[in-house]
Amino acid sequence: MKHDGPVNERRRVLNLGSLVIASIAMVPGSAAVFAQAPPPRVEESDEQAQTLGYRHDAAEVDKTRFPEHRPGQMCSNCKVYLGKPGEPWGPCPIFHGKEVSAKGWSHSYVPKA
């Protein structure tokens, strides 16, 4: 059996990859599915979340460590929160492209005017 060599092998791999991409693009709605993948969610165990005292549930904020936290303060009524009203999760620029819980809280909280 004749060996194709690295140039022909690379060409074969590229052609196969092109076929796969073209096949995905032809499936109705496939681009929308990939484009609408939700951003990752902040985990309470993330280093930045721990530093800022982020909790998914504002009722669980450490009041000793963050005495400035007041009842009723939560991400959904924070000036920085970019989530849509009524949505359980939304983007927060403080956490660089990750979503936070609308019921959450962090030390970065700024009340809406």
* pLDDT tens string 8-66: 666 765 566 555 565 555 666 655 555 677 899 999 999 999 999 999 999 999 999 99
Query: Which residues, other chains included, contact 59 with Cβ-Cβ below 8 Å and sequence gap of 6+?
Result: none
Domain 40-113 has CATH 3.40.640.10: no
For residue 86, with 0-12 CB atoms within 10 Å meaning exposed, 13-18 middle and 19 or more buried, which class applies?
A: exposed
pLDDT at position 36 is 75
Q: Is 53 buried (19+), middle (13-18) or exposed (0-12) by CB count in 10 A?
A: middle
So what's the pLDDT on residue 101?
98
Write down the domain spans for the chain. Answer: 1-37, 40-113
Kindly provide the residue ranges of all beta strands, DSSP E only, lying in 1-113, ordered along the sequence.
89-91, 99-101
